[in-house]
Chain A
Protein backbone atom coordinates (compact mmCIF):
# COMPACT_ATOMS: atom_id res chain seq x y z
CA UNK A 1 0.00 0.00 0.00
CA UNK A 2 0.98 3.62 -0.27
CA UNK A 3 3.03 5.22 2.43
CA UNK A 4 1.47 7.96 4.54
CA UNK A 5 3.86 10.49 5.97
CA UNK A 6 7.33 9.82 4.59
CA UNK A 7 8.97 12.57 6.62
CA UNK A 8 6.85 12.69 9.73
CA UNK A 9 8.18 12.78 13.28
CA UNK A 10 8.57 9.18 14.38
CA UNK A 11 8.06 7.61 17.77
CA UNK A 12 9.53 4.13 18.21
CA UNK A 13 8.19 2.10 21.12
CA UNK A 14 8.87 -1.40 22.34
CA UNK A 15 5.90 -3.74 22.17
CA UNK A 16 4.14 -3.79 25.53
CA UNK A 17 5.36 -0.35 26.57
CA UNK A 18 3.14 2.71 26.80
CA UNK A 19 3.19 5.31 24.01
CA UNK A 20 2.64 9.03 24.34
CA UNK A 21 1.97 11.09 21.22
CA UNK A 22 1.85 14.85 21.57
CA UNK A 23 0.13 17.57 19.62
CA UNK A 24 0.12 21.35 19.87
CA UNK A 25 -2.99 23.07 18.58
CA UNK A 26 -3.25 26.62 17.40
CA UNK A 27 -6.71 28.00 18.06
CA UNK A 28 -7.64 28.86 21.63
CA UNK A 29 -11.29 29.02 20.51
CA UNK A 30 -11.33 25.32 19.55
CA UNK A 31 -13.63 23.36 21.82
CA UNK A 32 -13.52 19.88 20.36
CA UNK A 33 -10.53 17.68 19.63
CA UNK A 34 -10.13 14.29 17.98
CA UNK A 35 -7.34 11.78 17.60
CA UNK A 36 -7.22 9.75 14.40
CA UNK A 37 -5.14 6.73 13.39
CA UNK A 38 -4.20 6.30 9.75
CA UNK A 39 -2.72 3.08 8.45
CA UNK A 40 -1.00 2.91 5.10
CA UNK A 41 -3.48 2.95 2.24
CA UNK A 42 -6.47 3.74 4.43
CA UNK A 43 -8.43 6.76 5.54
CA UNK A 44 -8.13 8.15 9.08
CA UNK A 45 -9.90 6.12 11.75
CA UNK A 46 -11.47 7.78 14.81
CA UNK A 47 -9.78 6.82 18.07
CA UNK A 48 -11.04 9.14 20.78
CA UNK A 49 -12.33 12.66 21.24
CA UNK A 50 -12.48 15.23 24.01
CA UNK A 51 -14.32 18.48 24.59
CA UNK A 52 -12.70 21.57 26.01
CA UNK A 53 -14.65 21.31 29.26
CA UNK A 54 -12.69 18.15 30.08
CA UNK A 55 -9.02 17.56 30.91
CA UNK A 56 -8.91 13.82 30.42
CA UNK A 57 -10.91 11.11 28.72
CA UNK A 58 -10.27 7.40 28.67
CA UNK A 59 -11.13 4.75 26.16
CA UNK A 60 -10.04 1.19 25.67
CA UNK A 61 -6.24 1.27 26.08
CA UNK A 62 -6.19 4.95 25.09
CA UNK A 63 -6.31 8.17 27.09
CA UNK A 64 -6.45 11.71 25.79
CA UNK A 65 -5.20 14.60 27.90
CA UNK A 66 -6.01 18.23 27.15
CA UNK A 67 -4.09 21.18 28.54
CA UNK A 68 -5.86 24.32 27.40
CA UNK A 69 -3.40 26.63 29.14
CA UNK A 70 -0.59 25.65 26.80
CA UNK A 71 -2.82 24.41 23.97
CA UNK A 72 -1.47 20.89 24.15
CA UNK A 73 -3.10 17.56 23.49
CA UNK A 74 -1.66 14.11 24.08
CA UNK A 75 -2.67 10.56 23.28
CA UNK A 76 -1.52 7.78 25.55
CA UNK A 77 -1.67 4.20 24.34
CA UNK A 78 -1.25 1.53 26.98
CA UNK A 79 0.54 -1.75 26.29
CA UNK A 80 1.37 -0.81 22.70
CA UNK A 81 0.81 -3.59 20.19
CA UNK A 82 2.15 -4.14 16.65
CA UNK A 83 -1.30 -3.28 15.30
CA UNK A 84 -0.91 0.20 16.77
CA UNK A 85 1.77 1.02 14.19
CA UNK A 86 0.36 3.85 12.08
CA UNK A 87 0.38 7.61 11.65
CA UNK A 88 -1.56 9.47 14.33
CA UNK A 89 -3.20 12.86 13.77
CA UNK A 90 -4.82 15.25 16.17
CA UNK A 91 -7.59 17.46 14.84
CA UNK A 92 -9.26 20.56 16.30
CA UNK A 93 -12.51 22.14 15.25
CA UNK A 94 -12.58 25.56 13.63
CA UNK A 95 -16.11 26.79 13.92
CA UNK A 96 -18.96 24.35 13.71
CA UNK A 97 -18.15 22.28 10.66
CA UNK A 98 -14.43 22.48 9.86
CA UNK A 99 -11.57 20.46 11.33
CA UNK A 100 -7.90 21.36 11.24
CA UNK A 101 -5.51 18.42 11.28
CA UNK A 102 -1.99 18.42 12.68
CA UNK A 103 0.98 17.16 10.69
CA UNK A 104 0.95 13.72 12.24
CA UNK A 105 3.30 11.41 14.14
CA UNK A 106 4.38 7.99 12.92
CA UNK A 107 4.30 5.33 15.64
CA UNK A 108 6.56 2.34 15.11
CA UNK A 109 6.14 -0.62 17.43
CA UNK A 110 9.29 -2.68 17.86
CA UNK A 111 8.97 -6.41 18.51
Chain B
Protein backbone atom coordinates (compact mmCIF):
# COMPACT_ATOMS: atom_id res chain seq x y z
CA UNK B 1 0.00 0.00 0.00
CA UNK B 2 1.73 3.17 -1.19
CA UNK B 3 1.85 6.09 1.17
CA UNK B 4 1.61 9.72 0.17
CA UNK B 5 3.91 10.54 -2.72
CA UNK B 6 5.04 13.95 -3.93
CA UNK B 7 6.90 15.17 -6.97
CA UNK B 8 9.34 16.56 -7.67
CA UNK B 9 11.65 16.03 -4.70
CA UNK B 10 13.59 19.22 -5.28
CA UNK B 11 12.96 22.21 -7.50
CA UNK B 12 14.85 25.42 -8.23
CA UNK B 13 13.05 28.42 -9.71
CA UNK B 14 13.76 32.11 -10.14
CA UNK B 15 11.71 35.02 -8.87
CA UNK B 16 8.59 35.71 -10.89
CA UNK B 17 8.31 32.19 -12.25
CA UNK B 18 5.44 29.80 -11.65
CA UNK B 19 5.65 26.32 -10.14
CA UNK B 20 3.39 23.27 -9.93
CA UNK B 21 3.86 20.63 -7.25
CA UNK B 22 2.08 17.28 -7.29
CA UNK B 23 0.73 14.93 -4.66
CA UNK B 24 -0.79 11.47 -4.75
CA UNK B 25 -2.67 10.60 -1.57
CA UNK B 26 -2.46 7.38 0.36
CA UNK B 27 -4.66 4.69 -1.14
CA UNK B 28 -8.28 5.13 -0.05
CA UNK B 29 -7.84 8.72 1.12
CA UNK B 30 -10.06 11.39 -0.41
CA UNK B 31 -8.81 14.56 1.29
CA UNK B 32 -5.56 16.39 0.56
CA UNK B 33 -4.05 19.23 2.56
CA UNK B 34 -1.03 21.33 1.62
CA UNK B 35 1.42 22.88 4.05
CA UNK B 36 4.42 25.17 3.74
CA UNK B 37 7.33 24.55 6.08
CA UNK B 38 10.04 27.20 6.24
CA UNK B 39 13.40 26.19 7.64
CA UNK B 40 13.30 26.01 11.41
CA UNK B 41 9.54 26.31 11.66
CA UNK B 42 6.50 24.10 11.89
CA UNK B 43 4.31 23.43 8.87
CA UNK B 44 1.78 26.15 8.01
CA UNK B 45 -1.59 25.20 6.55
CA UNK B 46 -2.14 26.47 3.00
CA UNK B 47 -5.44 24.81 2.04
CA UNK B 48 -7.38 21.56 1.94
CA UNK B 49 -9.13 19.89 -0.97
CA UNK B 50 -12.07 17.51 -0.79
CA UNK B 51 -14.36 16.39 -3.61
CA UNK B 52 -12.28 18.47 -6.03
CA UNK B 53 -13.01 21.71 -4.19
CA UNK B 54 -11.03 23.89 -1.81
CA UNK B 55 -12.67 23.30 1.55
CA UNK B 56 -10.61 25.56 3.79
CA UNK B 57 -7.76 28.00 3.29
CA UNK B 58 -5.02 29.34 5.52
CA UNK B 59 -3.46 32.81 5.45
CA UNK B 60 -1.80 32.58 2.06
CA UNK B 61 -2.19 34.99 -0.87
CA UNK B 62 -4.07 34.18 -4.05
CA UNK B 63 -0.75 33.41 -5.74
CA UNK B 64 -1.17 30.01 -4.09
CA UNK B 65 -3.82 27.92 -5.79
CA UNK B 66 -4.60 24.27 -6.08
CA UNK B 67 -6.58 21.59 -7.74
CA UNK B 68 -7.84 18.13 -6.90
CA UNK B 69 -8.51 15.55 -9.59
CA UNK B 70 -11.21 12.85 -9.66
CA UNK B 71 -8.62 10.27 -8.55
CA UNK B 72 -8.01 12.46 -5.45
CA UNK B 73 -4.50 13.48 -6.48
CA UNK B 74 -3.74 17.15 -6.13
CA UNK B 75 -1.59 19.96 -7.43
CA UNK B 76 -0.31 23.09 -5.72
CA UNK B 77 0.43 26.04 -7.99
CA UNK B 78 2.38 29.11 -6.95
CA UNK B 79 2.54 32.11 -9.29
CA UNK B 80 4.93 35.06 -9.32
CA UNK B 81 7.41 33.34 -7.03
CA UNK B 82 9.12 35.36 -4.32
CA UNK B 83 12.34 34.57 -2.49
CA UNK B 84 10.23 34.01 0.63
CA UNK B 85 8.39 31.15 -1.04
CA UNK B 86 11.48 28.99 -0.61
CA UNK B 87 10.40 26.20 1.70
CA UNK B 88 9.49 22.55 2.02
CA UNK B 89 5.99 21.98 0.68
CA UNK B 90 4.19 19.12 2.32
CA UNK B 91 1.12 17.26 1.21
CA UNK B 92 -0.98 15.33 3.70
CA UNK B 93 -3.86 12.99 2.94
CA UNK B 94 -6.65 11.72 5.15
CA UNK B 95 -9.92 9.86 5.01
CA UNK B 96 -11.44 11.07 8.22
CA UNK B 97 -11.22 14.51 9.78
CA UNK B 98 -8.38 13.45 11.95
CA UNK B 99 -5.23 11.53 11.21
CA UNK B 100 -3.25 13.00 8.34
CA UNK B 101 -0.47 11.13 6.62
CA UNK B 102 2.30 13.32 5.25
CA UNK B 103 4.40 12.86 2.15
CA UNK B 104 8.15 13.49 2.07
CA UNK B 105 7.70 16.99 0.69
CA UNK B 106 9.04 19.02 -2.20
CA UNK B 107 11.93 21.34 -1.43
CA UNK B 108 11.44 24.55 -3.44
CA UNK B 109 14.30 27.01 -3.76
CA UNK B 110 13.60 30.41 -5.30
CA UNK B 111 16.66 32.33 -6.50
Contacts and interface: CB of A to CB of B under 8 A. Distances in A.
Contacts, number: 66
Contacts of A41: 104
The DSSP consensus for interface residues of chain A is loop
Interface string A78-111: 0000000000010100011111111110000000
B41 A44 contact: no
Instruction: Please indicate which of the listed interface residues B39, B43, B48 has the most CB atoms of chain A within 10 Å of its own CB.
Output: B43
A5 B102 contact: no
A104 to B, nearest CB: 5
A5 B100 contact: no
Contacts of B104: 41-43
Contacts of B81: none
B102 A43 contact: yes
Q: Classify chain A: how many residues form its interface, as a range.
A: 20 to 34
Interface residues of B, number: 30
B40 A8 contact: yes
A7 B88 CA distance: 16
A2 B103 contact: no
A26 to B, nearest CB: 13
A86 to B, nearest CB: 13
Contacts of B43: 44, 89, 101
Interface of B: 4, 31, 33, 35, 37, 39-45, 48, 50, 55-56, 58, 88, 90, 92, 97-105, 107
